[in-house]
Amino acid sequence: MSEGKPITLMPSKQELTTVEAANFLNVSRPFVIKEIMEGRIPHRMVGTHRRIPFGGLLEYAKDMQTSREIALEELSQLSADLDLDY
């Protein structure tokens, strides 16, 4: 807030639809469904609809960020090992 960026408050037990989860992660809805089917994003079924707990989605987003940082570090190290100047 001090930086002038908008914030959104959500209850910790909030559940999101696949569309809302895709918007939050900035990915496509089919990608979210694929991640759900592979067991990477927790969910529950409400009739024929999937509901994703916000806490689980936050954990997934943190795990993905950590994976990206590790991959970037490995790529940087490989570049240094091969004396590639960028």
pLDDT in tens, 18-51: 999 999 999 999 999 999 999 999 999 999 999 9
pTM of the model: 0.78
Mean pLDDT over each residue of the chain, to the nearest integer: 92
pLDDT band at 86 (very low <50, low <70, confident <90, very high): low
Between residues 25 and 8, the one the model is more confident about? 25
Distance between start and end Cα atoms, the chain: 36
Q: For the chain, which residues make up each domain, given as ranges?
A: 15-80
pLDDT of residue 28: 97
CA distances from 60 to 1, 4, 9, 36 (A): 24, 27, 19, 11
Question: Which CATH number does 15-80 carry?
Answer: 1.10.1660
Question: Average pLDDT of 51-72?
Answer: 96
Between residues 24 and 11, the one the model is more confident about? 24
Take residue 7 and report the two structure tokens written for it.
């914030």
Q: Which helix (H) or strand (E) holds 49?
A: strand 49-53
